[in-house]
Chains A and B, each alone.
Chain A
Amino acid sequence: MSLPGTPTTSPTPMDEDTEQAVSVNTEPKRVKVYILENNEWKDTGTGFCIGEVDEGKFAYLVVSDEDSPTETLLKSKLEGNIEYQRQEETLIVWKDLGGKDIALSFEESMGCDTLCEFIVHVQRNIESNISLVTVKSSDNGLGSVHDIITGPVTLPSNDQQQNSQTLLEALKILNENTSFDFLKNETIEFILQSNYIDTLISHFHKAEEEKIPKDLFLLSNIIKTLILYNKRDILESMVEDDRIMGIVGILEYDTEYPTSKANHRKYLGSKGPNFKEVIPLENEDLKIIMKKCFRLQFLKDVVLVRFLDDHNFNLISEIVMDLETCIIDFLQVGTFLDRLIELYDTKTLPESSSEKEKFVQKRKDGIRLLQQCVQMSINLDAVDRSKFYKTLVRKGLFKVLDYAFHMETDSNVRILATDTIITIIEHDILLIHNVQNEDSFKRQHKSAPDDKSSHRKYPQDYSSSTDSKLLLILSTILLSDRSPGLREQVVQALNTLLHPEGCVGNGEGSYDLMGRSNYEAKNTSEDFPSFSYGLNSDSINLNNYHYSSDEMNNLEPESESEFQVMEYFANFYNKIAPILFGPLIKKDITTEMAEIDGQIEKVTKDDLLLIHLVKLVSFVCTEHDRVLSRRFILENGILDSVSKLIGGNHMMQLRLTAVRCIKNLMCLDDKYYHRYMISKNLYAPVFKLFQENIDKNNLANSCIQDFFRIIITECRAYQSDGHNRKEKTNGSYDGNGNDVKTNVNNNRTNFTILNKYLVQTYGDVLRKATDIPFIQDMLETGEENQPDHSSFENSIEGGNDISVNMSTDGFASNHLEDIDIKNVKRLHSEIEHFENDPHYSGDQLAFKKSVDQMNAST
């Protein structure tokens, strides 16, 4: 045993594989033996080399002459601190204790391997001070790379009596040992097999008691160095029950802040291990995993936050993720979730008021717990996530949400419930719906096992199913709850639920149901442009989708899931949208909405709500099937309301949001919207707002300049289009900053018409701003171009009365009501004419009819 304070050099633990692989003597291998004499390598003969062990104590490399096997060319003892060098593949070179340089050149690299294994065996079992290193020329051909294969390893002293000297030495050794994998691995082995960390912790308590700052800082640096070894087992052993307090205690000291100390132990002592158990956990293993998980996160996020490098950070995150996967798995096996969800069975309410209060609190905590579990699941593998969410839905997650949205009054708790829902639907929009369907599918199959088409029968059932219920709940919350945070979340949930890309592209669930799916199960959330945060480093990853309505129009609902998606949206426009957009729907139409009518007066004054609604209008117009959404928007006069908001006595944020909505609709370059907005004079408030801000350098001014810039850019593109098709429009953006796809044939003319109309109607306003170059352009372009104008009407409208009105009299306002009615009628007939379209399939007709039917029933 070495003296305290000196590093120990110990033979490393026996390696059983090596032990068995190398028997006493090795197979003979053919070699040439060289000896260095007068700086020249001299060939002393060719023979067969074996590694030989005598009496289990003495090891030799022996070469016998190939011509006369009894003659020994070389017998060299492995002893002392000889360093054997393996150079490239076939050479072993060393200097023996007598100072003689010897080289063995093997015929085959396999032979060299065998003898190297022998040297390793001898180092581990007999002569611990010899070593074997490899020398290879480096990749660039200059210099060479050394690596240690085996040899003596200097390890820190594990003596119970530590002091500044031993600690300093240990720190030095631990740092040096990171330079070679061999040394590093041996050190890791030592740390895991010995009680070294406990030795450190016990000295820490002593040093803290005796106030020896030097030792405290050394200990902290040693622990940090051990963490940099980046070994899972070491990290896990540090967070075990009997070590964690010692470890975070040591890490409270930091040489960077020599005059202060963190208070991690205090924090952990008061909070960490005492988890709130809403539902008592029965499984002790699970408790251990949870503690470990929490402590590792605490290390990563708090204790070591300024210290960890990327490798450490990733390793800890990885371990945490494994543990989380484990926890989520555990939660699903027992009765834990059942007991949790039982809390929300209404019949189980206790009678006494104090008990009741406790119980209500418990329900709040239960929702927090659920949210935390769902949050934890975010990092899991997609399959595990789906499995967990399905389990939750099957066990009755909706009972909990129903409670949160209908009974719970605390906005903070409702926010967590919404967050839970968002996490699930962003993972897979159809998951909830599919689990529900699967249940009713099973039920139906029980009653009518032979009816193969039974799932065909319940679109009706589906339409009133959980999705719609969810949409309805969310819409109602948005309209009635004034908590701004909750509203933001609800809007995010609505955006997700109403995103056609997500619904169409995610047939994963229907695969379960019908055993087939036309779509690859996509990794959901990354596919949504508005929620794609998949960034790495400081670079941006372009992930723009543009949903084209034409695609949707021509899409034949081949699969069940597509059919359901179309049903789903039809149902949205019939049942949900009238409520959701209620505050933007003209009064005379909304009288039917008796149930929320009382709220309308209130909410129309609520500018913050209106901002959300106007953004949703932009969203549905841009993203949804054009025919479906446009019909709803125009029939309900939504754009009229939006336009009014621009001019009204509202906060500027809302007024500009409304301008952007009009701008987005204009960018859709949809001739019906174009016509509608012109005929109803919806641009007037934009010009009024512009006039208010004409000399100001502010956001309103920029917002409207952008508006004009889009129009003139489109017009210019049209003008040059005649000569040169390749010119690309720039500067037209939808709400997400995506380039708006434009239809080459009529879009330019739409914009030319618009520009002409604007110049004719609002030229006086525009002429005040001619210092802006493109406004000058607008004026010039708008005042020429007569022929294009008329030909546009003839070609598009075929002499339709509305557009003739538009162009001839410049939309005198007394004609507006008249035009309105015609316009709405026109939109009805527009859908009908598709029946003659050969692309319009039978399925789509069925769909359209169901839409009409539902429409009639509203």
Chain B
Amino acid sequence: MMDLDKIIASLRDGKHIPEETVFRLCLNSQELLMNEGNVTQVDTPVTICGDIHGQLHDLLTLFEKSGGVEKTRYIFLGDFVDRGFYSLESFLLLLCYKLRYPDRITLIRGNHETRQITKVYGFYDEVVRKYGNSNVWRYCCEVFDYLSLGAIINNSIFCVHGGLSPDMTTVDEIRTIDRKQEVPHEGAMCDLLWSDPEDVDTWSLSPRGAGFLFGKREVDQFLEKNNVELIARAHQLVMEGYKEMFDGGLVTVWSAPNYCYRCGNVAAVLKIDDDLNREYTIFEAVQAQNEVGNAIIPTKKSQMDYFL
């Protein structure tokens, strides 16, 4: 068996992980993830986290500010990769935590956890840069296919990356999706990962080109039909870190501070206690540090040997 603690320490320091190790991590994660439902059950107390986008050092800050995985249960709402410069380390770190503390951490698929999107928005390039070939990217994409599409906390809070779908309006229906596939361009699975809440009267076309816009009416219906009180989702940058909408029936949580290293936003996580009280923790980007505590500047690794 792998020495997970050792790998975790390497990842936290942003060190190179051998391809072979990544492969085994990914394979072991698959086994764990496939035992979870499309909408997986989670107990309180739990801390809900939004988009990470490869900002490894901010992810470390997140754990630090919210108790750490040794003591706290977490749900991550997807978009672990792309944009930032440490997509691989961020995703693998979460996988390692998942393997090391299976009950403490739940990972949900975001719209960036797909082959198509990661090819364009950075994760693919990052892997090619770090390994000279794309194998590790392929392994990770295989894991993406196994990630849950949502979670439900104490049967009361529905968690999803994007939002609702007009095709499937109950949690039971969502359970009938065979999720092990590249995210389709339309249909319920796509909508859950792509939709956004908006001040609209009914389902509307999304400017993103995938998913829908949904309003208070759709949210209220979903809450009533499924007997839940809150939809927690991520997917949209919120300068203040979180934003409640529709009389508190929906919240957007965003956990990548200073998004893309330039947006200047703060980040938030949402803690749900046993009485379903909500408590937000706000945090800012801090200067990244290397393993000996020296400040470092987040950057991309240059390409491998140049042969010509």
Contact = CB atoms under 8 A, between A and B. Distances in A.
B36 A297 contact: no
A260 B187 contact: no
B31 interface: yes
Interface in A774-827: 774
Contact of A539 (B133, B210, B302): B210
B277 interface: no
B115 to A, nearest CB: 7
A306 B34 contact: no
Contacts of A260: 287, 295-297
Contacts of A259: 287, 295
B179 interface: yes
A515 to B, nearest CB: 36
Contacts of B306: 271-272, 275-276, 294, 372
Interface in B281-308: 287, 295-303, 305-308
A365 interface: yes
A52 interface: no
Interface in A689-730: 696-703, 705-707, 709, 730
A228 interface: no
B35 A698 contact: yes
Contacts of A536: 120
A305 B85 contact: yes
Contacts of A305: 85, 299-300
A71 interface: no
- Candidate in A699, A707, A774 with the most chain B CB atoms within 10 angstroms: A699
A262 B175 contact: no
A699 B115 contact: no
B303 A301 contact: yes
Contacts of B305: 271, 276, 368
Given A540-B210, A733-B184, A699 B35 contact: yes
Contacts of A703: 178, 180
Given A416-B133, A706-B178, A533 B116 contact: yes
B85 A365 contact: no
Contacts of B120: 533, 535-536
B308 A699 contact: no
B41 interface: yes
Interface string B97-136: 0000000000000010001110110000000010011111
Contacts of B261: 306
Contact of B307 (A275, A297, A302, A306): A275
A372 B307 contact: yes
A484 B307 contact: no
B111 to A, nearest CB: 8
B119 A533 contact: yes
B37 interface: yes
Contacts of B184: 733, 737
A699 B301 CA distance: 37
B280 interface: no
Contacts of A705: 175-176, 178
Contact of A485 (B35, B133, B177): B133
Interface in A668-706: 696-703, 705-706
A368 B307 contact: yes
Nearest to A274: B306
Contacts of B129: 301
Given A369-B307, A540-B210, A702 B135 contact: no
A667 to B, nearest CB: 12
A656 interface: yes
Given A539-B208, A653-B34, A415 B135 contact: yes
B34 A700 contact: yes
A504 interface: no
Contacts of A294: 306
B30 to A, nearest CB: 6
Contacts of A369: 307-308
Interface in A632-682: 651-653, 656, 660, 663
A542 B185 contact: yes
Interface string A289-300: 010001001100
Interface in A398-449: 412, 415-416, 419
B181 A653 contact: no
B295 A702 contact: no
B182 interface: yes
A241 interface: no
B295 A297 contact: no
A290 B297 contact: no
Given A485-B138, A533-B120, A701-B37, A737 B297 contact: no
B146 interface: yes
A702 B136 CA distance: 27
Contact of A302 (B138, B182, B209, B300): B300
A702 B37 contact: yes
Interface of B is mostly: loop
B76 to A, nearest CB: 19
Nearest to A530: B182
A737 B182 contact: yes
A536 B121 CA distance: 10
B38 interface: yes
Contact of B19 (A275, A485, A535, A736): A485
A538 interface: yes
Given A260-B287, A368-B307, A540-B209, A706 B135 contact: no
B40 interface: yes
B139 interface: yes
A380 B33 CA distance: 40
Interface in A553-602: none
B262 interface: yes
B266 to A, nearest CB: 17
A254 B299 CA distance: 13
Contacts of A233: none
Interface in B233-292: 260-262, 287
A533 B176 contact: no
B163 to A, nearest CB: 14
A278 interface: yes
A697 B37 contact: yes
A400 to B, nearest CB: 14
A254 B84 CA distance: 18
Interface string B22-35: 01000000110111
Contact of A533 (B23, B31, B115): B115
A290 B308 contact: yes
A271 B186 CA distance: 46
Contact of B300 (A301, A416, A656): A301
Interface in A370-392: 372-373
Nearest to A485: B135
A254 B287 CA distance: 13
Contacts of B33: 699
B35 to A, nearest CB: 5
Contacts of A281: 308
B53 to A, nearest CB: 12
B209 A541 contact: yes
Given A301-B302, A697-B175, A702-B179, A419 B35 contact: no
A320 B261 CA distance: 25
Contacts of A706: 176-178
20 contacts: A260-B295, A276-B306, A305-B300, A306-B261, A306-B262, A306-B299, A327-B308, A365-B307, A415-B133, A416-B132, A419-B134, A484-B135, A540-B185, A656-B34, A697-B36, A698-B34, A699-B36, A702-B175, A705-B176, A737-B187
Interface of B: 19, 23, 30-31, 33-41, 85, 111, 115-117, 119-120, 129, 132-136, 138-139, 146, 167, 172, 175-182, 184-187, 190, 194, 208-210, 260-262, 287, 295-303, 305-308
Interface of A: 254, 257, 259-260, 262, 267, 271-272, 275-276, 278, 281, 290, 294, 297-298, 301-302, 305-306, 327, 365, 368-369, 372-373, 412, 415-416, 419, 484-485, 488-489, 532-533, 535-542, 544, 651-653, 656, 660, 663, 696-703, 705-707, 709, 730, 733, 735-737, 772, 774
